Amino acid sequence: MRSPVLLVVAHGSRDPRHAATVHALVRRVRAARPGLRVETGFLDFNLPSVQGVLESLAAEGVGDVVALPLLLTRAFHAKADIPAVLRDAPPRLRIRQAEVLGPSPLLMAGLERRLYEAGLHPADKSSTGVVLASAGSTDPEAIAVIAAIAREWRHTGWCAVRPAFASASLPRTEDAVRELRAFGCRRVAVAPYVIAPGRLPDRIAAGAREAGADVLAEVLGPSPELAELLLRRYTAALGAGQLTAA
C-alpha cells in the first residue's frame, strides 16, 4: 500500500531566496525518506500553488495526502488560510492537515546549530544572551508560544533569552539586543526563529547589526533538524487519522 503523499505547504514570498530554501529543505526530506513522495505548494507569490498541486494529485489518481504547514507557530495561516485551501481541494482526495512545526525540541536544537555555525561555542552559553527573533504575529497564541520557547530555552544554560519580533509585536530585535547588554550578558547573539530568508528575516538582521549584536545566526533553512521534524509531523498526522473534508 502506497503511503500518503506529503504536501509541504509554504507561505511563499517575492524574495527568490524563500522558494529556493523551501525546495532545498524538501530535497533533504526526500533524501531522508526515499520511499515517500513529497510535493511542495505555495499559498502565495510562488508556483506551484497548493490548489494546483492538489488538482494534479487528484488527476493522477492519488487518494491520500498529508498537508503539512511549513509554519513555526499556529497563527492565521494555519488556522484559516490553509484549511480554506484544503476545503476547496478535489473531492476525491482524503486530506489530513498536520500540526505546525513549533514548538519542538528539534527547533531549539536547530537554532543552537545555527548559533554554533555562526561562531559561538557550547562553553559560551553561560555568558551569552540570545535574542529569539521571530517574524511576529497579531495572534496572541503565537506570541505566547514564542515567549514560552524563550523561557524554556533560557533554562538550557544561556545567560538570558529574550523574544523579539520583526513585525506586528514588540520588542524589535535591536531593542532586545540592548536589553541583554543592559542585563549584563558578556556577548549577545541573535537567533532568527524563521525558516527561510525574506523581508522580515532581513529586518531581523538589520536590527541585530544596528544594535551591535556579537553573533547573528542564519535562518533555520534546510537543517537536518527541520527535515526530521517535518517527517515526525507527517507520521503523527497519519497516527491521528483525522481527515479534512475536501
Q: Which of 21-25, 26-30, 239-243 comes out lowest in average pLDDT?
A: 239-243
Q: Which of 6-10, 56-60, 73-77, 138-142 comes out lowest in average pLDDT?
A: 73-77
Residues 82-119 pLDDT 10s: 999 999 999 999 999 999 999 999 999 999 999 999 99
Q: Is the pLDDT of residue 70 over 80?
A: yes
- Please give the mean pLDDT across all residues of the chain: 95
Residues 109-121 pLDDT 10s: 999 999 999 999 9
Residue of 164, 88, 169, 167 whose CA lies nearest to 130: 164
pTM (2 d.p.):
0.94
Assess contact for 20 and 27: CB atoms under 8 A: no
Region of 22 (left: φ > 0; alpha: ψ -120 to 50; beta: rest) is alpha
pLDDT value of position 241:
58
Q: What is the distance between the alpha carbons of residues 122 and 112, in angstroms, rounded to a whole number?
A: 9
Cis link prior to 34 (omega < 30° from 0)?
A: no
Residues 185-238 pLDDT 10s: 999 999 999 999 999 999 999 999 999 999 999 999 999 999 999 999 999 999
CA 140 to chain CA centroid, nearest Å: 18
Assess contact for 108 and 146: CB atoms under 8 A: no
Residue of 220, 69, 60 whose CA lies nearest to 134: 220
